[in-house]
Structure 1
Amino acid sequence: MKNEKAVVVFSGGQDSTTCLFWALKNFREVATVTFDYGQRHSDEIECARKIAEELGVSFKVLDMNLINQLSANALTRDDIEVTEVDGELPSTFVPGRNHLFLSFAAVYADAIGARHLITGVSETDFSGYPDCRDNFIKSLNVTLNLAMDGNFVIHTPLMWLDKSEVWELADELAALDFVQSKTLTCYNGVPSTGCRECPACVLRNEGLAAYQARKTAGAAK
């Protein structure tokens, strides 16, 4: 893989930034593609742009605002509360988002001569989103190759990691401080540790605390 080119589906958040560092380690050339789908905070796109510039990778933004014409959810509507109810999809679920993003990322990858796609989806901490599951990714990989007569490979470095293990991977990639201070995961648009109250911030910060505790315990042995 080291001699090949890859495209990272990139949002500027913890997961996709960790994936970007993973890609930089494993591929000769890395490009990023970010999607403007009417998310609450345009700061997310600007954060992604700054990270890409700092790490010296290309940055492409694709307009996906058509999603807002089809569904209503808490990630694109200020008037919908961010909620999570057991047994139901969270209000932050955007139907078809990862399907569409990866499909358009494949078209972009084909245009720039890349066949590897990297996405930060996880079945361990996926909040019930069906398009974060491993069987969906494998199915879409087959579909993309059939549809485009291609040889794409979708990589999911975080698929079987919980959030503390994602922090551990960032640390192994010498990117822990970078990811901690320069990414934006918060549903309320607050960078770094975020608002500390929304589900994304709680998951992120609890994961970091768990990893730091495990690391400290390991160092003490």
Structure 2
Amino acid sequence: MNRDEFAASIDHTVLGPETTWADVKTVLDEAADNGLNACIPPCYVAEAADYRNAPETIATVVGFPHGQHAPKAKRDEAVRAWDHGADEIDIVINVGRLKAGEDDVVAAELSDVVAAVPIPVKVIIETALLTDEEKRRACEAAVAADADMVKTSTGFADGGAVVADVELMSEYLPVKASGGVGSYKEAAAMLDAGATRIGASSGVAIVEGHPESGA
């Protein structure tokens, strides 16, 4: 994978609770200047879509970070994000519903969101909170909902992306490995394991580690 292809696989991310518009502008500039995507809070999507130096792809989050919003709230949040210019949606599943065995409820909620927006939907399953059996059920729910990708983590639970989880999840859908990926070596390991996208707050440092970047 050459440097440009590698950069295009990275979602340069800022999602902390204290994120300001100035923080988002910095991430947008860094993403645009380095060929990365950006993943930003939903409250800033409209401004980001109109920003003079916006990257080609702007992703945002829905039901973030715990996934416990009412299903209609998630659907409305996704539609609002699309209306405001988001190119992709990363939605958090309801982990409690999944753990209770309510897989049909999880899948129905995801299906409603996927049907409501004409843009790719990535399903965050929060691997650190799940057993392998639950990870498989979460991925099956994402498949049943016709989601585009599954994503490992929000970055707000203990633990993040690990190679074993990426390998498991890639049996079902393309994978976004997110949470704790901070270097080119770590990102490359996730891609080698089957990920097609990387989510990281250190996207610039990661791409600067690519052999063609001269770092």
Higher RCO, 1 vs 2 (CA within 8 Å, ≥6 residues apart) = 1
Higher strand fraction: Structure 1 or Structure 2?
A: 2
Bigger Rg over Cα: 1
Same-fold call, TM > 0.5? no
